[in-house]
Amino acid sequence: MLSEFVTHLPVSFGFLQELVHGPTSGADVARAILRWTHFVAGITWIGLLYFFNLVNVPVQKIMDADAKKKINPDLLGRSLWYFRWGAVVTVLAGLTYYAMYILASEARNAGVNPWAYLGIWLVIVLVTYAIIYGLYQVPALTKDGRVLAVAIAIVVIIFAVVIVYVLGNAGGAGGRYLGNKSVSIGIGGGLGIMMMLNVWGIIWRVQKRAIEAFKGNGQAPSPEDARKAFLASRTNTWLSLPMLFFMGTSHGDWILFGK
């Protein structure tokens, strides 16, 4: 029985030839490293995002002031370092991969300039975030997180529609369009950039002051600023769900847009 199993091993492994391909050049190795850097950094970032919202926030509510002074400087200082830099590495690695391998390939196939559409996409993302950032400055919205969530959801839905329209119709000559990967990552990656901007523009700016206050080196952030940081973190948590969904659709789990 064992000898028969061993005899059939080469045939069994032969089926893997179509599934497993080794790198054929240094460019293939660089591409694999870039992609896995994006994955690992993303896991670090989103994992800590869930830790903060699902574990840390409830625990902070039951900790007394002395415990916060002893624990939070080291706990938050260390975790927020990985959190904010994980966001940067995730976005930069993903943006590079998108520009060099996904958008570049599909744009050329569609007969359009990939750098022009990369620039258009980035402008749409940044304008959308500017609107979202402005919503955090409206007291009537930040007073009730549910109202703010609805307002941001409307902006995000409009953003997704614009991306589908702009990227989905790129080319269009002879039936050549940008494919599912470009459109899906255009939405998911755009949400990731907005989430990173929330981290650095709102969350870290407030948490940095809070950590210094725990150390006795400064004044604690105002309740209004603390509220904005809390809402930005909660926004990132629920935005991570459509973000991960659209990143998944780019790999063919569900073909939603294009071919």
Per residue in 54-112, pLDDT tens? Answer: 999 999 989 988 888 889 889 999 999 999 999 999 999 999 999 999 998 898 888 89
Instruction: Assess whether pLDDT exceeds 90 at residue 12.
Output: no
The mean per-residue pLDDT over the stretch 121-136 comes to 97
Query: Alpha helices, DSSP H only, in the chain?
Result: 2-14, 26-51, 57-62, 65-97, 103-110, 114-135, 139-142, 145-168, 180-198, 204-214, 223-249
Where do the domains of the chain lie? Answer: 29-249
Q: What count of residues does the chain have? A: 259
Residue 253 has pLDDT above 70, yes or no: no
- For the chain, the average pLDDT equals 88
3-state SS, residue 22: coil
User: How far is the CA of 159 from the CAs of 121, 132, 183, 187, in angstroms?
Assistant: 10, 11, 12, 8
